[in-house]
Chains A and B, each alone.
Chain A
Amino acid sequence: MSTTTAAHHDEHHDHPTGMMRWFTTTNHKDIGTMYLTFALIMFMVGGALIMAVRAELFQPGLQLMKPEFFNQLIGVHALIMIFMALMPAATGFANWMLPLQIGAPDMALPRLNNWGFWLLPPAAILLTAPYLLALFGIGDGALATGWTFYAPLSVQGGIGVDFAIFAVHLLGISSVMGSINVIVTIFNMRAPGMTMMKLPMFAWGWLITAFLLIATIPVLAGAVTMLLTDRHFGTHFFDAAGGGDPILFQHLFWFFGHPEVYILLLPVWGFMPQILQTFARKPMYGYKAQVYSLWAIGTLSVVVWAHHFFTIGMPVPALLYFMYSTMAISLPLAVLFYCWIATIWKGSMSFETPMLFAIGWIILFGIGGLTGLVLADVAADAQYHHTYFVVAHFHYTLFAGGIMGIMAGVYFWLPKMTGHMYNEKLGKLHFWLTAISFNLTFIPQFFLGLAGMPRRIPDYALQFAEFNMISSIAAFVLGLSQLLFVYNIISCARGGKKATDKVWEGADGLEWTLPSPPPYHSFTEQPVIK
């Protein structure tokens, strides 16, 4: 991409400093940094919760906690990882990189951007506060329904459900605000000459994500609002005891819940081809095919939701429709896989940490996708439903496909953001520890699921003991190895070898035309795309 960019190196000092800078900032890079920092903190919190779960599952029998507390840990772990780690991390990248990649001075709606971020910390407090309140004898802890809020459990649950409902509302408002900002920025703030079909792939991934969020978050918000009225205002929308329909809640939840998977993954599918082409030193393969595939996946994702609950008993035509429509998603996804592999095929590859994560991501996310195809089969799903097979599948999708993708993005852009190179040896050690321990954690869970071990149960039969022990030990290695990631980021932010403007030899795009780190105001004159 050739440009006539005039990057201005002069710093402006008209913005607040100290804490006020972070509370009042409307600068996209500041807000992006806050999103990414928040996501990292909540990633460690969510990880700590699930370490306690794996400690309990180390041996059969109840060891450390009551079943209610076990369920609370699982539900809050999921909500934190989805809404407060993965989504904010993707939004952090959007804030940092979208304006730089499309040649915009900032996001289109900077103050809305600030609002969007500052709704997140109160939501985190609301979600986790019931744990502390329970210590003082108030309530019975956080929500114990799993992240799905299924009725009637959620109708009957304690105050943790109310706190979680309010937290989800705040998170939803934040997400919609972020989405509006992304859409408006891409539609209205592109540099002259940057037509839609010249957009960086990351922008495409995020644009579709933003549309999905606006299409689905209001439905989740509506469902949990009505759940709140069921709990406190005498309505019976989902309470079977009063003539309500708990299955209706499942439909509403998964109308949001399935596209949510793609909301978490599409931004990664956007920037991953950029990482692959950088380290393969080749142009991206199949740009148009990738754009159309992203749209196809985004569109299909909102019409396949009921495959999450085949076992409730649906009419056969409905089962067939949801099975075939779910399987149809594998077609555009296969196109994406083909393009990713073709991008690196016969390239002059080098294996810096971002590339290691990217290659690992293709393989492991591929396993997540293929096992999803198995679950989409109605007959097979009858056996696998609600077993550890499902747990292993969605961790291959969301940890390998989502979080390891985000890690690739962090290592890719960290030198650009901080102006320093991270510790490459430590990065590679982090990758190998993560990849190996991740597989050792979740491959045993596939076998546990195939053998029939149900999920969300703190105790299990003796024949599952060995696989659970392996899984727990590996999970602790996986958790501890993330401390290397945190250390590497902090030490990189504090100093280190100076990063060049382009950072990576094969890097391509407007963000690499700016200094590392970019000045407080990115483009004082808009670049022109030829």
Chain B
Amino acid sequence: MARFCCRAIYKMDQDHKPDEARRSKSVKLALFFGAIAVLWYVVSMIVVWTQ
């Protein structure tokens, strides 16, 4: 799954491949903020549902 996400969101031109540590950190940060957005979407609907 992590590899799929990595491939889906990450493609650098060969000339510009940064080091593996930086690339890994970028993907982790992206997944973190993406998860926050999805969670917030679900939580906002639950809050409305429970009104």
Contact = CB atoms under 8 A, between A and B. Distances in A.
Contacts of B41: 218-219, 221-222
A225 B38 CA distance: 13
A26 B11 contact: yes
A251 to B, nearest CB: 9
Nearest to A225: B45
Interface string A490-530: 00000000000000000000000000000001001000000
B40 A14 contact: no
B25 A218 contact: no
Contacts of A110: 10-13
Nearest to A184: B29
Contacts of A27: 13
A409 to B, nearest CB: 26
B33 interface: yes
Nearest to A12: B15
Interface stretch (A50-58, A101-109, A418-426): A101-109
Contacts of B48: 222-223, 226, 237, 248, 252
A363 to B, nearest CB: 37
B51 A524 contact: no
Contacts of B34: 176, 180
Given A111-B9, A226-B48, A188 B29 contact: yes
Interface string B1-26: 00000011111111110100010011
Given A26-B11, A521-B16, A183 B44 contact: no
A111 B29 contact: no
A217 interface: yes
A473 interface: no
Contacts of A252: 44, 48
Given A183-B33, A214-B37, A105 B45 contact: no
Given A214-B37, A215-B40, A15 B51 contact: no
A26 B10 CA distance: 9
A223 B49 CA distance: 11
A217 B9 contact: no
A409 B9 CA distance: 29
A12 B41 CA distance: 42
B29 A183 contact: yes
Nearest to B7: A111
B30 A112 contact: yes
B36 A111 contact: no
Interface residues of A, number: 38
Contacts of A219: 40-41, 44
Contacts of A106: 12-13, 16
A187 interface: yes
Interface string A209-221: 0000011011101
Contact of A14 (B7, B13, B49): B13
A214 B36 CA distance: 8
A184 B23 CA distance: 10
B30 A109 contact: yes
A242 to B, nearest CB: 14
A524 B18 CA distance: 10
B38 to A, nearest CB: 7
A222 B30 contact: no
A307 B6 CA distance: 42
Nearest to B36: A214
A189 B33 CA distance: 16
Given A26-B11, A226-B48, A218 B16 contact: no
Contact of B29 (A176, A187, A225, A245): A187
B48 to A, nearest CB: 6
Given A112-B30, A180-B33, A225-B45, A218 B38 contact: yes
A12 B38 CA distance: 38
A26 B48 CA distance: 39
Given A218-B40, A218-B44, A252-B48, A108 B26 contact: yes
Contacts of A248: 48, 51
A11 B11 CA distance: 19
B49 to A, nearest CB: 7
A184 B34 CA distance: 11
B33 A222 contact: no
Contacts of B16: 105-106, 521, 524
Interface of B: 7-16, 18, 22, 25-27, 29-30, 33-34, 36-38, 40-42, 44-45, 48-49, 51
22 contacts: A14-B15, A26-B13, A105-B18, A106-B16, A108-B30, A109-B27, A112-B8, A115-B9, A180-B37, A183-B33, A184-B26, A188-B22, A214-B37, A217-B37, A218-B37, A223-B44, A223-B48, A226-B49, A237-B48, A252-B48, A521-B15, A524-B15
Task: Give 9 nearest A-B pairs by CB, closest first.
Answer: A218-B41, A222-B44, A112-B9, A111-B11, A218-B40, A105-B16, A222-B45, A108-B26, A219-B44
Given A112-B8, A176-B34, A252-B44, 20 more contacts: A12-B15, A26-B12, A105-B18, A106-B13, A109-B26, A110-B11, A110-B12, A111-B11, A180-B37, A181-B30, A183-B33, A188-B29, A189-B22, A218-B40, A218-B44, A237-B49, A245-B51, A252-B48, A521-B16, A524-B15
